[in-house]
Amino acid sequence: MGNDNRKFSWYGSLGLAILCADEILLFMGVDVIRIFFIPIACSAFVLFLDALNWMTRGESLIRSRRKEFLVMLPWSVFCSFIFELYNLHIQNWTYVGVPQDLVLRSIGFLWGFGTIFPAILETSDLLQVVFQKVRIKPRKISRATLFIHMVFGLLCLTVPMLFPHSTAKYLIPFVWIGFALFLEPINYFLGGRSLFRYFENGELKQLFSLMLSGLVCGGLWEFWNYWAEARWVYDVPFSWSGPKVFEMPLAGFLGFIPFAVECHAMQNYLLAVLNRRKTLTPS
């Protein structure tokens, strides 16, 4: 592959321009921007990241894994609604300033939710170079270990829903780790991309880049959310959660770390199912 093919793609420059325009028009008070500010910013960010990945790594979702990118968008929406279903019971966040019109409100949610997985996974791909040399001794992971993780993950996902809201609202951390613990072993058994398979090879870059990606994306999301008219607000019950940074209590940012790992687990579960008879090349 020649260097000419790895120049910063035009859509990356477009994404950066849209992001800047989005910020400027927001502070100018343009109504449509105030409503859709977050989905626009997130979409522009994904375009910028993909172009950056292509330039620096020679590989990206849009340029070299386009089918994966296309199935990721609706899957990101679907998985986001799963978390929203949990929140109906746990009630840790609510939305304010959303349009009263059902069509506009639906567009905003679908658009915004569709950018979550691409942002997390594109950022993680970009950050892997930081942890390239972080390794552990390769070792085989037993089936018993995998099943134990699955059972604990399933408990994390079910127990919060068995308690009334007054108790369940304190159990949200279990939801943030449950899908990763439950799905990563399944991904391993299905022959897909799994953190457990990476661990067997002594690789930690995938895990650490995901964790850092969660903090990076979480910080950006909360920054954009703070200025938007249509945004989310939190009701975090822990008294020790610290002062707010934007709308998020300080300790709440820790939730973005396992959330990014869950995005990886959920996306690769879908891919493993769709490619059951294929061997997927780890990114």
Average pLDDT for residues 237-265, to the nearest whole number? 86
DSSP assigned state of 52:
H
**pLDDT at residue 3 greater than cutoff 80:** no
Cβ atoms of residues 172 and 90 within 8 Å: yes
**109: nearest Cα among 72, 70, 77, 87:** 77
Q: What is the mean pLDDT of the chain?
A: 92
DSSP assigned state of 203:
B
**Per-residue confidence at 235, pLDDT binned at 50, 70, 90?**
confident
Pick the more confident residue, 1 or 61.
61
pLDDT for 240: 62
How far is 18 from 20, CA to CA, in rounded Å?
5
**237: nearest Cα among 256, 222, 252, 219:** 252
DSSP assigned state of 247:
T
Which residue matches tokens 């679908």?
110
Pick the more confident residue, 6 or 264.
264
b/e sequence 13-31, b meaning 16+ C-beta within 10 Å: eebbebbeebbebbeeeee
**122: nearest Cα among 62, 38, 199:** 62
Residues near 89 by beta carbon (within 8 Å), at least 6 away in sequence: 160, 161, 165, 168
Which residue matches tokens 């085989």?
140
**209: nearest Cα among 283, 140, 114:** 283
Cβ atoms of residues 208 and 197 within 8 Å: no
The alpha carbon of 25 is separated from its chain's Cα centroid by a whole number of angstroms, namely 26
pLDDT for 119: 98
How far is 194 from 197, CA to CA, in rounded Å?
5
3-state SS, residue 94? strand
**pLDDT at residue 180 greater than cutoff 90:** yes
3-state SS, residue 38? helix
Angle value at C-alpha 258, between 252 and 268, nearest 5 degrees:
145
How far is 175 from 261, CA to CA, in rounded Å?
12
